[in-house]
Structure 1
Amino acid sequence: MHGKLPPLFTLQAFEAASRLGSFSRAAEELSLTPGAISRQIRQLEDWSGLTLFKRHGPKVSLTDDGTALLTRLAGPLSALHQAIYPPADTTQKTLHIATLASIAKEWLLPRLGSFSSANPHIRLIIDTDYALVRAAPRVAMVAIRHGSRQSTDQICETLFTDRLMALTSPELKAKLGTDPTSWPASAMLQHLSLDPAAWLASADMPEDFTLQGQAFNDADVLLEAAQLGQGIALGRLSIAWRRLQAGSLVLACDTICPTPRDNLLILREDSASLPEVHAFTTWLREQAGAWQLEVDAFDKYQRKNKDIGPSGN
């Protein structure tokens, strides 16, 4: 009796060659060369002390010993396959969504009810974390991030662009006025991962001006501080939208510029075709397209009111 099992890959090569009746076809299925399959089979024959195949030119057939081994392996190999790849007809699916808390709370959750209503068989797990976690192969997972597109072996696409603006409470706006060059640096709240250069340049701020107010690592908490009158925050339209509509936040001035980074959808190519991933990404792109129209309408409204000026109707 042997004290240890043969390498799993030799058993995979044996099963494929047995099923397909050809080392070449087994090699194609397993992304190997026929020579590599032949070596795996020879290794298994050496390990077992059995001749497993009869060679008929390019075709092969099992010997009696090979047939007996395949019969013994059928159950364990099938169980292993099902453990790694659950049956496709499983009714309940699980989809992991990795994103930031600010995106989840202010942009995703207000829309998510329509997806869940249309797809009650898909259970969503929303993981809000700043760390970029690489999904495992064939795992139903997508990521929604605010960042820059980079060269990657994953699918990365822009969902929608965003706008950067100065936001504060109505009371603090009345106190500080609408001229950014008159605002004290200590009143400018900071987002630790936001580069304010684009907005500062658009607002014609002095080149040596720096934000020196309270600092935060979460965009939603930053806006909460601004809403409480603790300063002026540079925030994204997608995160500030509901507060702007409610009037709890207002534009501190009329300077608005595109964000240097976009809102991105990221997923692995090998999981993009999974039914639950396909259903969610199709829905997500539709929601992003509708939101982009709102962003464009916001731009048009702001340009119109800026052109009219404070004395216009």
Structure 2
Amino acid sequence: MRDRLPPLFSLQAFEAAARLGNFSRAAGELHLTPGAISRQVRQLEDWCGQTLFERVGNQMRLTVEGRELLARLGGPLAALHEAVYPEPEEAHTTLQIATLGSLARAWLLPRLHGFIAAAPTVRLIVQTDYALVRPPPRVALVALRHGRPEDGGEILFGDRLLAVAAPALARQLGRDATRWPAARMLSHVTGDAPLWLAAAGTTTAPAGPAFNDAAVTLDAAEAGLGVAVTRLSLALPRLRAGTLVQAHELLMPSPRANLLVIREDAATLPVVKRFATWLREEARQTSADLKAWEPA
């Protein structure tokens, strides 16, 4: 059989399943069903006369032969993809950044001038959306997310939870969270306010306006609509400017962190590596800034 090659699609299905360690994730990447991935892998096993995956409990693991084949396939498949889909020069100088609007406004945009000055030939596209869209292979895209570390991604910096309000409202309501009227407590629908409220000793459920965006929640607090429990990294510019003040002394670690997510096949692109290096340096400075806000 050495004078013929196995079907290319079977090789692609095997490489994706082996690289991602999961038939379902491979199916998502190739826009197939897990069953289709399984059939392609079985076809390749029949062609090679080798067992490439073995079932261990509910998981599929590579055999020795499977690991050896994966090591040999990566380079040739990448070269074939580049030969069939040559990338224009612009693809290497355009960087897409997928993130949340709140993270972009409070953290990324105020710092982005530094990267633009250091890399003036790179065109940036900032996409703010809640949906996690998987890009095509080898697209220069990075994602900045706020989530639990176990969700995946590189931790750039941790965060803290605190309550903030406009200065006049903070003076009016006082520092005792258990006495704050429910109607003057704002909600970010996907935030971690219940953790902070429990730690502050209040059982009052917020009954003020609710928002699905953390930055808009802070806009509402700044407008005097109520107290908002938020992340220190988002509130810090407004706290420094004095448009918001800390409404209660409790400052507690957040269970979520700010994460950098890069698709494996884009991690070696020069523009992605350059941006990631810059991003990590900015994150180190942010960690120091957040720590400096904590009481001695």
TM superposition score normalised by structure 2: 0.71
Please name the residue that 2:250 is paired with.
255
CA RMSD of aligned residues (A): 2.8
Residues 80, 133 of structure 1: alpha-carbon distance in 2 compared, 3 angstrom cutoff: closer
Q: How far did 1:80 drift?
A: 8.6
Residues 197, 116 of structure 1: alpha-carbon distance in 2 compared, 3 angstrom cutoff: same
Any conservation in 2 of the 1:165–1:237 contact (CA below 8 Å)?
A: yes
Any conservation in 2 of the 1:92–1:121 contact (CA below 8 Å)?
A: no
Any conservation in 2 of the 1:189–1:233 contact (CA below 8 Å)?
A: yes
* Residues 16-27 of structure 1 mapped to structure 2, 5 A cutoff: none
User: CA offsets, 1:193-229, max 9 Å, x none?
Assistant: 01323211221113xx211110000111100100010
User: CA offsets, 1:114-173, max 9 Å, x none?
Assistant: 111111121110000011112222111110011113366xxx111101111111001101
Please name the residue that 1:291 is paired with.
286
Residues 249, 8 of structure 1: alpha-carbon distance in 2 compared, 3 angstrom cutoff: same
Q: Does 1:148 align with 2:145?
A: no
Following TM superposition, the consecutive aligned residue runs of length 4 or more in structure 1 with deviations greater than 2 angstroms are: 7-10, 78-83, 89-92, 149-152
CA distance in 1, matches of 2:91, 2:214: 37
Give 3-state SS (helix, strand or coil) of 2:162's partner. Answer: strand
* Residues 101-140 of structure 1 mapped to structure 2, 5 A cutoff: 101-140=101-140
Any conservation in 2 of the 1:91–1:121 contact (CA below 8 Å)?
A: no
* Residues 29-40 of structure 1 mapped to structure 2, 5 A cutoff: none
CA distance in 1, matches of 2:81, 2:255: 47
Please name the residue that 1:157 is paired with.
154
* Residues 87-236 of structure 1 mapped to structure 2, 5 A cutoff: 93-150=93-150, 156-206=153-203, 209-236=204-231
Any conservation in 1 of the 2:165–2:224 contact (CA below 8 Å)?
A: yes
Q: How far did 1:92 drift?
A: 5.9
CA distance in 1, matches of 2:131, 2:87: 28
Residues 91, 226 of structure 1: alpha-carbon distance in 2 compared, 3 angstrom cutoff: closer
CA distance in 1, matches of 2:81, 2:199: 60
Please name the residue that 1:244 is paired with.
239
- How many residues matched? 230
Q: Does 1:86 align with 2:87?
A: yes
CA distance in 2, matches of 1:90, 1:142: 17
Residue identity opposite 1:280 in structure 2: F
Residue identity opposite 1:101 in structure 2: G
Residues 290, 216 of structure 1: alpha-carbon distance in 2 compared, 3 angstrom cutoff: same
TM superposition score normalised by structure 1: 0.67
Residues 151, 244 of structure 1: alpha-carbon distance in 2 compared, 3 angstrom cutoff: closer
CA distance in 2, matches of 1:125, 1:172: 38
CA distance in 1, matches of 2:156, 2:163: 23
CA distance in 2, matches of 1:284, 1:294: 15
CA distance in 2, matches of 1:164, 1:81: 46
* Residues 47-86 of structure 1 mapped to structure 2, 5 A cutoff: 81=82, 84-86=85-87
Residue identity opposite 2:196 in structure 1: W
- Unpaired segments of 5 or more residues in structure 2? 1-5, 10-42, 49-78
CA distance in 1, matches of 2:107, 2:200: 27
- Unpaired segments of 5 or more residues in structure 1? 1-6, 11-31, 38-77, 305-313
Any conservation in 2 of the 1:141–1:277 contact (CA below 8 Å)?
A: yes
Residues 178, 142 of structure 1: alpha-carbon distance in 2 compared, 3 angstrom cutoff: same
Q: How far did 1:246 drift?
A: 0.7
Q: Percent identity?
A: 47
Residues 166, 151 of structure 1: alpha-carbon distance in 2 compared, 3 angstrom cutoff: closer
